Amino acid sequence: MKKKIAIHWFRFDLRVSDNPSLNYLSKNYDNIIGIYIFDDINSDPKLGSASKVWLHSSLDYLNKQLDGNLILLKGDAKGCIDQLIDSFDVEEISWNRSYEPWIVKRDKSLKMYLKSKVNVNSFNGSLLWEPWEVLKNDGTPYKIFTPFYKRGCLLAREPRVPKSEKINFFKHNFCSLKLSDLKLLENKKWESKILSQWDVGENSSLEIMKSFYLNGVKDYSDGRNFPIKKNVSRLSPYLHWGQISPNILWYELKRLKNLRENDIEVFKSELGWREFAYYLIYHFPHLQKKNLKSNFDNFQWLDDQVNFTKWSKGLTGIPIVDAGMRELWQTGYMHNRSRMIVSSFLVKNLLIHWRRGEEWFWDCLFDADAASNSASWQWVAGTGTDSTPYFRIFNPVTQGQKFDPNGDYVKKYVPELKNFPLKFLFCPWECPADILKNLNFELGKNYPYPIVDLKESRNRALSTYNLLRQERN
C-alpha cells in the first residue's frame, strides 16, 4: 500500500526555514516530498543567464539539505504534477505564491485543475503584505510609494512572525531528473567567475544577514549611497530566490540595539520598496513590457545599437558608468547607487529605451527580479507610477565625485584609471595633455573618449521630453 504523501512545490522559496507551505504540511503529514519544476515552456520572459547560474547552485544546495530527495522536473507544470500523482498516493499539494503575471495566470488555472484530484493550498512566503490587502480607502491600489508604505503597510496588520517546523522529507525512489538535465549552465568561464564571489544557499543568507546587522546597518541611511562601503546587505539575490524570508529580516531588525532609529527605518523602507515593486506588478501586470505612463508611448527613443553595446560592456568613457557596468558583468550584482547612475545615463544621455536596459539587467543580475527590475527602470525613466521626473538627469561626474570621493570604486572596476589624479578621475577627457603624457596615457587608446557629451546629451533629452509634452498638450 502506498503511503499518503504531500507535495511541496519549491519555486521562489528555496529554503526550509520559515517556509509557510512546508510548515503547514508538516502539521498534517509525516511524508512530504519536495519538488522543483523548471518550466521553461511557459515562463515569460525566459530565465536570464545569471539567474540560471544562481538557480543551478541553489538547487544543488537545496537537494543536499533534503538528503538527496529533491525531485527535479522540467516542462509544463500540469504535466509534471500529473506524473507525480500517478506515481504516489498524493493527498495534498501546496506552494508559496509568486506574483509574476504569467505565474499568477498559470497557478489559477492549475489550482482549478488539481482541485478535482487532490487538496491544494498556497501561502504567502515571499512578501510582508499581500498586494490585495493594501489598498486605499476607495479600494483602489496605491500608485505612490510613500503613502503605500506609510499608510498602507505600516498601518496595516503586522507581518507574519517567522516560524520554522521540523520537516520530514520522504525518502522516495522516484526517478528524478539530474540537475545537469535542466541545462542551466553552458560551461562558460563567465559563469564560474561571477559565482566565485558568492556562497549560495540558505545558511549563507542567514550568515550574511547576521554580519550585515552587526556591521552594516550602522550608518546605513548615509553609507548605502557609497558603492565602495560595506553598508549594503547584498541580500537581494537570496531574497529573490527565497533563501531568506523578508519576515526574518523584518523581525531580526527589531532585536537590534544601540543603533540609530533612522538607519533601521531606512533599511525597512528598502524592504518596503521591494514590496511596492511586487504590488505594482500584481496590480499593473504590464509593468515589465509597457510604460505605466502611457504618454511616454510616443517618446522618441533612439535605436542606437553601437552605444548600447558600449554601455553594456562598460566602455562609455564615463568612469562611474563603466565601473557600474563592469561590476555587473564581473559579479552578477550592482550597487543600487550605481544602478541609478547607469540607468539614467542609458535612458537620458543615450536616449535608449528603458526596456533595453531592463532586458540587459534581467540577463546579467543574480537578483533579476521581474517586479523590482521593471519598477526600478520605470522609476529612473520617468515612465512609472511613482517615478523620478524625466527631467531629473543624473550628472555621472558629480555623482562619482560625491559618492566615490576617493575613487576606490572606479579604480577597482576601471583599473586603466588607477594612476589618474583624483581631480580628473571622473572626467578623464578634461585631464591636461602634460599630465596624460606623464602618465603615458592616451585617451582613445588606453581608455575611450566619452561616447556622448554630457551637457549636449542632457539638453537633447530635455528637448525630446519637451516635444512630447507639447504633443500631449
Confidence of residue 296 (pLDDT cuts 50, 70, 90): very high
| Alpha-carbon span 185 to 191, nearest angstrom | 8
pLDDT tens profile 425-455 = 999 999 999 999 999 999 999 999 999 999 9
Indicate if the pLDDT at residue 467 is higher than 90.
no
Task: Name residue 309's amino acid.
Answer: T
Q: What is the structure's pLDDT at 3?
A: 67
Are the C-beta atoms of 363 and 48 separated by less than 8 Å?
yes
Go through the domains of the chain in sequence order and give each one's CATH number.
Answer: 4-122 (3.40.50.620), 127-162+202-283 (1.25.40.80), 294-472 (1.10.579.10)
pLDDT score for 391 = 84
Q: Amino acid identity of 18? A: D
Res 137 pLDDT > 70? yes
C-beta separation of 439 from 421 below 8 A? no
Nearest to 34 by CA among 64, 3, 57: 64
**319-331 and 305-313 helices cross at what angle (nearest 10)?**
70
Work out the average pLDDT over 369-389: 90
DSSP string covering 115-173, please?
Answer: TTTSEEEEE--S-SS-TTT---TTSPPP-SHHHIIIIIITTSPPPPPP------B----
Cα gap 345→394, rounded to integer Å: 7
In this prediction, residue 188 carries a pLDDT of 84
Please say whether the dihedral angle defined by the alpha carbons of residues 418, 420, 421 and 422, taken in this order, is positive or negative.
negative
Return the sign of the alpha-carbon dihedral for residues 273, 276, 278, 284.
Answer: negative
The answer to whether residue 2 scores a pLDDT higher than 60 is: no
pTM higher than 0.75: yes
The type of residue at 305 is Q
Predicted pLDDT at 1:
41
pLDDT tops 80 at residue 469: no
In this model, does residue 126 exceed pLDDT 50? yes
pLDDT exceeds cutoff 70 at 471:
no
pLDDT tens, position by position, 35-68: 999 998 888 899 999 999 999 999 999 999 999 9
Measured between alpha carbons, how far is residue 275 from residues 131, 145, 165, 178 in Å?
8, 10, 26, 34
**Residue 447 bridge partners (DSSP):** 443
pLDDT of residue 390: 80
pLDDT digits (tens, 9 = 90+) for 308-317: 999 999 999 9
Looking at every residue in the chain, the average pLDDT score rounds to: 95
What does the block give as the cell for 317? 568613457
pLDDT of 139 strictly over 90: yes
- Give every strand in the sheet of 89-96, ordered side by side: 71-74, 32-38, 4-10, 89-96, 119-123
